[in-house]
Amino acid sequence: MEDGKRMSTPDARSLDILDAIVRLNIETGKPVSSGLVERYLQRAVSSATIRSVMQGLEQAGLVEQPHSSAGRLPTDRGFRIFVDRLQSGWTLQRWDPPRDMRQLVDRDIRRSAGSQDRIKVLARLLSRLTDNISIILGPSWDTVRAVRVELYRRSSSKGLLAVIMENSLIRTGLVDLAEEFTDPVIAEATQRLTRRIQGRTISEIQNDTPISVDLVQTPATRCAQSLARQGRDLLADMEDGEVELEGVANILEEPEFREPEPLKALLKFIESPRTIRESLDRLDRESAGDFGVWIGRENPVGTLRRFSLLTGSFDLDGRRGVLAVLGPRRMSYHRALHGIDVLRRALATN
């Protein structure tokens, strides 16, 4: 054990008092006094016993005292015991989430069905469910097969290119159109592109060589070549899966962010989608069971060692993605576990 501390298994009374300390710290954001624990336990345990147990928990490295006159704060190991106990009964608890949480998920899942921004909608929903930062690593598109290409003119020089894929997935983006590309020319060009990509995966399309130059150049072949080049840019980041993050404002008012270092660490992490993607991929591989839970210094991602992070995989249209909740170490783990669990079960049944 670090700091030379040995941690034996706490007895039932110690676990009850540790549970009270963690829950009160989560609620108040402040060190917890023995008097507050006594009131929380409805005076079922004497104040002298509570003080003695709190000293034992401190010696075991499960709580700490910021200064001599303060109450106690849970350490990473204290939070770990609390979360492990919470998860040990999750088989039954998972079926009893707050009713308003289930209703919100059912409503927003139905509304997001078929939406191109579905991952963003899900990230916003998970943030509302957990009152923390939500991060969603969307499933990779690399094995999804293309169905057809469509183009809708928006002006004389702009068009909306849509790549329609299986499972009703759609990728759209604005493209440039030359003056010579009339509506009949565009129709012929999109037919050419559809014949070329139909039934092929995103990965195969990305690795394909550009459309060959026809011996006889026509406006339709030039339009097809132009759309192919711009379409490849449109599909460039699809193989890795989308990354959506919501809810940073949820935690900025928390006491932990009165100091600059936690805020700097958070901003360093969230400013890079590549870092987020690589971190969630790594943590997802290392997680065991239904959830991955990393508390403070347990986290192998250095910038996140001031926080807690919960992850859980989900399926969307037969493809695998990752849900994550990021927040202070004293986040509501119960609500975060419920948020991830309710959302992925709703996705599995819709």
Strand arrangement, sheet containing 170-176: 146-153, 158-165, 170-176
Q: For 200-250, what is each residue's pLDDT tens digit?
A: 887 788 777 555 545 568 889 989 989 988 888 777 766 567 889 999 998
Q: In a 3-state reduction of DSSP, which class is residue 9?
A: coil
Strand arrangement, sheet containing 307-316: 243-246, 133-137, 319-328, 307-316, 292-295
- Given a cut of 50, the residues of the chain with pLDDT beneath it are 1-7, 213
Q: Which two tokens stand for residue 146?
A: 């293309």
State the pLDDT at residue 103. Answer: 84
Q: What is the DSSP letter of 167?
A: G
What whole-number distance in Å separates Cα of residue 119 and Cα of residue 277? 14
Say if CB 50 and CB 34 are below 8 A apart. yes
**DSSP element (H, E) containing 173:** strand 170-176
State the pLDDT at residue 24. Answer: 97
State the pLDDT at residue 104. Answer: 87
Say if CB 74 and CB 22 are below 8 A apart. yes
- Sorted by where each starts, the structural domains of the chain and their CATH numbers stand as 2-74 (1.10.10.10), 90-140+240-349 (3.30.450.40), 146-234 (3.30.390.60)
- The packing angle between helices 183-197 and 219-234, to 10°, is 60
**DSSP element (H, E) containing 312:** strand 307-316
State the pLDDT at residue 213. Answer: 45
State the pLDDT at residue 214. Answer: 54
State the pLDDT at residue 116. Answer: 65
What whole-number distance in Å separates Cα of residue 74 and Cα of residue 247? 25
User: Which of 238, 224, 245 minimizes the C-alpha distance to 181?
Assistant: 224
Tell me the residue type at 285: R
Q: For 53-91, what is each residue's pLDDT tens digit?
A: 999 999 999 999 988 788 999 999 999 999 999 988 877
